[in-house]
Amino acid sequence: QVQLVESGGGLVQAGGSLRLSCVASGRTFSEYAMGWFRQFPGQERECVAAIKWSGSSTYYTDSVKGRFAISRDNAKNAVYLQMNSLKPEDTAVYYCAVDRLRRRTTIDITPGAYNYWGQGTRVTVSS
């Protein structure tokens, strides 16, 4: 059974940092893109960052460029999101996800492209 377990969320003041971790178990995902999504109340999940299966390409939504960094460690079957200079508008539930397509050539940021999801970790940034 595949499980994605996120950790690292919490409460932080504006300008602070958090590092989210997501460790997968049940199968190896070294040949699958992985992504971090967030969801605001009443809205659809949006892709915050994603990383190609090879690690050679990344995607960031405009609002986090220069502040967030995604990385992966295939040996640990894990993906990380380093979040710096956090803002109150970053407050959301963050989910990690694994692409449904093996060795996808380009990053797909649509939620439907991902078929395994973590349970979510809440990030709250106070002003």
Please tell me the least confidently modeled range out of 9-13, 39-43, 98-102: 39-43
Segment 6-21 mean pLDDT: 98
Structure tokens at 95: 């989910």
Residue 33 dihedral angles phi and psi, to the nearest 5°: -65, 150
84's CB contacts (< 8 A; 6+ apart) are 17, 67, 68, 69
Q: Does 121 score more than 90 pLDDT? A: yes
Q: Does 95 score more than 90 pLDDT? A: yes
What is the C-alpha to C-alpha distance for residues 39 and 9, in angstroms, rounded to an integer? Answer: 14
What pLDDT is recorded for position 56?
Answer: 95
For the chain, how far is it from start to end, CA to CA, in angstroms?
Answer: 40
Residue 19 dihedral angles phi and psi, to the nearest 5°: -125, 115
In tens, the pLDDT along 27-68 reads 999 999 999 999 998 999 999 999 999 999 999 999 999 999
Segment 96-101 mean pLDDT: 98
Structure tokens at 13: 């003041």
What is the C-alpha to C-alpha distance for residues 109 and 125, in angstroms, rounded to an integer? Answer: 24
The whole-chain average pLDDT of the chain stands at 97
